[in-house]
Amino acid sequence: MTESAPLPLPPLPERVDPEALRDLDEAALEGVLAALRDAERATVAAMFPYSRQVKELQARAQEIATEQRRRERAAHIAQRKAVRDQASSGEMPSLEAALSSAEPVALPETPLASLRAFLSTGGEIGFGYASRPGAIGFTDGRRQQSATTYGEARRLYADGWEPGAPGVPGVRVHLAGTRVERVVPLDGVVVERLAAS
């Protein structure tokens, strides 16, 4: 269906100087106002096809945004499933296995901040507090130490230190890209293998 060409903008009525308005009688003043209102109605009518097109463009952009969100959700669900599959197959070892295994998952000097880790349920996490990421706290029951590299974490674990704080066992993590923090057990975290020595 072909739409008719939009109407041209109507001319503006002659402007009456505010000082001159004082000299007009009621009928003349009403006449000036009526001319302005007529021009306003004509302008709105001329703009209507453009306004309708802007609304249509906005609606189409929202449809695309909805599809993008659907794809993001699908990718997020697929990533979580892939993590669960890799965790159950042993391709992604638990943090406990990564700390205790004779076969390391990364080089000793690898910063914990660059070691990709996930909850065993699939969500990506970072070690430590969201405000101070990249560390795992360890305790011997009385004292505490922080490890910031994979090698330090393995050494502390081999020396009998446990992740956590006195009376609070577990690994403090934060959900990637958020400030949401929690303490999870060692087997509740899996890590991605990097090239190891």
Q: Which residues contact 156 (CB under 8 A, 6 or more apart)?
A: 138, 145, 147
**Higher local confidence (pLDDT), 168 or 81:** 168
30-79 pLDDT tens trace: 998 999 999 899 888 888 888 888 899 999 999 998 899 888 888 777 77
**Higher local confidence (pLDDT), 184 or 85:** 184
Is 89 a residue whose pLDDT tops 90?
A: no
pLDDT at 1: 45
Is 131 a residue whose pLDDT tops 70?
A: yes
Residue 66: Cβ within 10 Å count:
10
For the record, the structure tokens of 84 come out as 């669960």
Starting at the edge strand found earlier in the chain, the sheet holding 144-147 runs 144-147, 136-139, 162-165, 168-169
Starting at the edge strand found earlier in the chain, the sheet holding 171-175 runs 181-184, 171-175, 124-127, 117-119, 189-191
What sign for the dihedral angle of Cα 10, 11, 14, 18?
Answer: positive
Q: Which residue has the tokens 């590299």?
A: 149
Least confident of 34-38, 57-61, 89-93, 150-154: 89-93
Which whole number is the average pLDDT over 178-197? 82
Mean pLDDT of the chain: 86
